[in-house]
Every structure is written in structure tokens, then in C-alpha cells.
Amino acid sequence: MKRANGLLIYTTLYLAFLYLPVLLLPLFSFNDGTIVAFPIKGWTLDWYRQLGAQDTLLNALGNSLIVGITTALLATSMGLFAARAYVRNRFPGKEASEGLVMLPLVIPGIIVASSMLVLFISIGLKPSLTAVILGHSFLALPFSVSIMKSAFDDFDASLEEAAYDLGSTVLETFRRVTLPVVAPGIVSSFLVTFTVSFDEFVLAFFLSGNEPTLPVYIWSQIRFPAKLPNTLALGSVLLLASVLLLVVAEYFRRRSSSKSA
């Protein structure tokens, strides 16, 4: 019993340390004052109201959506085909390539960012949203591959054979059986890779040039104390959106594994 209590205290402290700062963000976004410190001066929604009027912010949001959606599309479609090959086929170099795909998870972001910048400039691709999309797709691929691999793990290979046996062409089989069966996995992968890209800072900072994504924009605003409450409001909105997206993604991931069981 004593040991359990010790664990309880440890857990509470751990969670508080982890999440209290995150909770302070939305708290101060409702504070009627520009200084981020207790006591709270009063409650206001002004910081949220002002968000809609800032063109540079909306511009950055637009950039982030373009980058996020394109990255999610690229990474998810590559992940879909790669995962199917990994689960279904045996080929030389399979283990090596599976390891290689997962590599971005462990390489420090700063290394990836600086080497990509050097690479892109040397092949004539200037820092731009295109460069960010390529970089983010690289970072997001391990997520989409592992989500799609678990979708294909639960997918009985004879379903595709059955469709082919019933007269479907290879393409028809893909469209009428493979895609619908792994659809929850695709949705889940799309949402997760979108979130990975949307929250990413280091690569975007190096590669975005004069087209900042939202995290890069926020970073640039933090230097101006007067803008800080706005940034807090924006951060709170993003926090809520990210959590919602991940919950939805998890729902689809679970649905995909329970469905074919």
C-alpha cells in the first residue's frame, strides 16, 4: 500500500510537470493584459478576436495548411504502397529498407534540416514551401509506413486473391477491395502525418525562406512582448486542433484493426 502511494505521488508530480505548462498557455490567452504572470488581471476574448485580422498570421496558417495537406498526401500514398510491399512480399534488401524508412525518427532534426538545406541549394531548389513539403514528407514517412503496416497486418491477403478470382483486374481489386479495407488506416495516417508537418519547426525554419509556416511565424512573434497574448491564443487554438486530430486518427486506427479481426 505504501509503495502504491509513493507511485501515486510520483505519477501526479510527473503529469503536473508535463502538462501544467501546457495548461498555462490557454489560461493566459484569456488574460486581460500583456504580461504573462499571476495574478490574472481579468478575462477577455480580445486576443482571439484579433487573430482573424492579422494578415501575416493568416498567410502563415495558409502556408502550413498547404504544406501539411501536401505532406500528408505524399507521405500517406508512399506509406500505403511501401507498407503493402513490406507486409505482403519478400524481396532482397527488405529489412535494410524498412530500417532506412524509420531512420528520420532517430536522426536529430537539426542535422536533417542543415543537410537538406545544403542539398536543396546545391540542386538549385531555393528555400520555399516546396522544400518544406519535401523535408516534411521525409519526416512523416515513418509514421505513415508504420500506421499502414499495421493496417495491412490485419488484412487477409486472400481478400485480394478472392477479388481477382471473381474477375476483377488488378486495378479494380485495389479500388474495390484493398482501398476500402485499409481506408481507416489511410485516414489515420493522413491525420497523423498532417499533424507531424503542422507542428514541425526546425526543418520549416531552415527551408521555408520568406514563406513562413505557422510555427516559424509564432517563433518570430514571441520576440515582441505586445504580440505575446495573441500568440498564446493562437497556440491554444492549435493545441485544441492537434488533440482533436489525433483523437480522430486514433479512432480510425482502432477501427481499422478491429474491423478485419
Partner 1 sequence: MSDTPIIDLQNLEKRFGKFTAVSNVSLSLRQGEFFSLLGPSGCGKTTVLRMIAGFQEPSSGQVLIDGQDMSDIPANKRPTNMVFQSYAIFPHLNVGDNVAYGLRGRGIARTEIDQRVSEALDMVELGGLQSRRATELSGGQRQRVALARALVMRPKVLLLDEPLSALDKNLREQMQFEMRHLQQSLGITFVMVTHDQYEAMTMSDRIGVMFNGELVQVDAPNVLYARPRNRAVANFIGGMNFLPADAKEDASGALDVTMPGFGRMRIDQNPNVTARSAQALVGIRPEQLEIAADRPADYDAVAKGTVRDVAFYGENIHYRVLLDGVETPIAASVPNYFHSIDFKPGDAVWLGVQSASVIDLGRDS
Cα 34 from Cα 28, distance rounded (Å) = 9
Is residue 4 packed enough to be buried (19+ CB in 10 Å), middle (13-18) or exposed (0-12)?
A: exposed
Give the residue with the Cβ less far from partner 1, 4 or 171.
Answer: 171
Q: How far is the CB of 228 from partner 1 (least distance, A)?
A: 49
Q: Which residues of this protein are in contact with partner 1, per CB under 8 A? A: 156, 158-159, 161-169, 172, 176-177, 180-181, 183, 259-260
Phi-psi region of 213 (alpha: psi -120 to 50; beta: other; left: phi over 0): beta
Residue 209, Ramachandran bin (φ over 0: left; ψ between -120 and 50: alpha; else beta): left
CB of 225 to partner 1, least distance (A): 55
Least separation in angstroms between CB 257 and partner 1: 12
Q: What's the min distance (Å) between Cβ of 144 and partner 1?
A: 21
Nearby residues of 232 by Cβ (< 8 Å), 6 or more positions away: 25, 26, 28, 29, 36, 47
The smaller minimum CB distance to partner 1, of residues 173 and 236, is found at: 173
* CA–CA dist 57, 59 (Å, integer): 5
Given the complex with partner 1, which of 32 and 153 has the nearer CB atom? 153
Closer by beta carbon to partner 1, 126 or else 175 = 175
